[in-house]
Amino acid sequence: MSGVKKYKMDMCHGPLFSKIVRLAVPLAMANALALMFHAADLMVLGHFASADAMAAVGAAPAFTTLMLNLFWGIGSGVNVLVARYTGAKDKLHLEKTIHTAILFAIAGGIVLAVAGCFITKPVLRMMEVPEGIFDKACLYLWIWCLGSPFMILYSFGSAILRAVGDTKRPLIYMSIAGVVNVLLNLFFVTVCKMDVAGVAIATKISNALSAILVLAALARSKEDYQFFWKKLTFYFPVFKEMLRIGIPAGVQGALFSLSNMIIQGTINSFGSDAIAGSTAALSLEGIVHAGATAFALAAMSFAGQNHGGRQYKRIMKSIYICLACSCCVMVIGGGIILLFHTQFLSIYNPDPEVIKWGTIRLFCQLTFYPLLAIMEVENSALRGLGHSFWPMIITLMGACVFRVIWVFTIFPHYKTMSNLMISYPVSWLLICIVNGILLIWVCRRMLIRASKRQFDVLTVK
């Protein structure tokens, strides 16, 4: 066995629980480290720069997530196809998927970088970012946009590795990039006095490093998923299937982010302290969410590989395991954060007023985080089975439309942070119920078709 082959995982055979945990744990750690890029920005600014600098960076996540979500959704389409062709042992389509995905990541990243720089100011105006932090927020986002191609390349490359069962190397690469990010943050902010520009440049250098490392891993591989620069081209039938699965997921994420931007605009109206407190709380929520997301992505990869290998009962079992593990992570992680919320928030910013706003958000969100865990696993499992359209519609209605209605109808009668934040768990509950019904229907139909196919084979014999 080659040194590279040890990273690959056969998800169609063997014990499920241990393999799911083995896939998800490095992925959770990598997700948390990715979030720490942004957290490191906030911590350094919170302690070595002004509150306005931290608030300027805090005004960015809703916009940056909106910009990236479409590409992350298409990345999920890459993950599903690579997993499916790996499970089916279809080397030709696997090779076509990988090279189409990388070429699209490069082209799409360049388009995103250019478009993002042009729309930054109008979007920040729409979000009602305070004038005192507006210029700093613009500068941060311009630098972020210019480095976005590296983020997309890393996202697509790690999606390929994750689909074949390799989450260890992305973790290693993210760890290396994370250390570089923290060191550069401290250098640019404390030594060069660059505040917002410094943390943005540090993060983008780290993103570039992680992208280079993951592409090098694909190029050095001797497995069926090896990447060759000379084979870069669009294979349109594969690209079309990638978009069929990925576009609804991306649109879903983008609309999700759009509703979050509207909510962020409302948070901005409370002032800089509220923005900084909410930003710190959001970062802590993200660390807990990273663990649950790992099991949701594991559900997608296991569903994809086992769907390709026609191991339908394993799909059902893997979904149950991922649901249980994801909920446990949310309960344990969220409980720890809530128990020591003051200490955690003070890491970002010791200002009592900032901590007060962050505390309100944390208790409204983390108390109900198991609902988010269920929602994430249901969505990912449906995508892994090739169903992206209806989860998009359900999320559009349950989260985006519902939250916007809440902001413009319920919130004006009681203008508090807690009233604004409670719209999230209510929307999670609605989506969980409807997506759960859809997932049960899809799985039952899949099992019925498999039984019929088996009966037809026996009849022919």
The model's pLDDT over 414-445, given as tens digits with 9 standing for 90+, comes to: 888 888 999 999 999 999 999 999 999 998 88
Which tokens is 426 given?
A: 């209510």
Q: How far apart are CA 77 and CA 437, in angstroms?
A: 23
Tell me the CA end-to-end span of the chain in Å, nearest whole number.
39
Domain count, the chain: 1
Cβ(301)–Cβ(165) under 8 Å?
yes
Give the CA radius of gyration of the chain.
Answer: 22
pLDDT of residue 460: 42
Residue 398 phi/psi, 5-degree rounding, is -75, -30
Extract the residue ranges of the chain whose pLDDT is less than 70. Answer: 1-7, 36-42, 46-51, 54, 58-62, 450-461
| Full residue range of the structural domain in which residue 30 is found | 5-460
Cα–Cα distance measured from residue 238 to residue 96, given in angstroms and rounded to the nearest whole number:
7
Please, how many CA atoms are within 13 Å of residue 378, restricted to the half-sphere of its CB? Answer: 27
pLDDT at 282: 86
Q: How many CB atoms lie within 10 A of CB 95?
A: 19
| Digit-coded pLDDT (tens) for 118-134 | 888 888 887 777 777 78
3-state SS string over the chain? CCCCHHHCCCCCCCCHHHHHHHHHHHHHHHHHHHHHHHHHHHHHHHHHCCHHHHHHHHCCHHHHHHHHHHHHHHHHHHHHHHHHHHHCCCHHHHHHHHHHHHHHHHHHHHHHHHHHHHHHHHHHHHCCCCHHHHHHHHHHHHHHHHCHHHHHHHHHHHHHHHHCCCCHHHHHHHHHHHHHHHHHHHHHHHHCCCHHHHHHHHHHHHHHHHHHHHHHHHHHCCCCCCCCHHHCCCCHHHHHHHHHHHHHHHHHHHHHHHHHHHHHHHHHCCCHHHHHHHHHHHHHHHHHHHHHHHHHHHHHHHHHHHHHCCCHHHHHHHHHHHHHHHHHHHHHHHHHHHHCHHHHHHHHCCCHHHHHHHHHHHHHHHCCHHHHHHHHHHHHHHHHCCCCHHHHHHHHHHHHHHHHHHHHHHHHHCCCHHHHHCHHHHHHHHHHHHHHHHHHHHHHHHHHHHHHHHHHHHHHC
Q: Can you give the pLDDT at residue 455? A: 43
Pairwise CA distance, residues 100 & 90, whole Å: 16
Burial class (CB in 10 A: 0-12, 13-18, 19+), 56: buried
Residue 384's alpha-carbon distances to 79, 136, 201, 275, 457, in angstroms, are 8, 40, 35, 36, 26
Contacting residues for 264 by C-beta, under 8 A, at least 6 apart: 59, 61, 62, 127
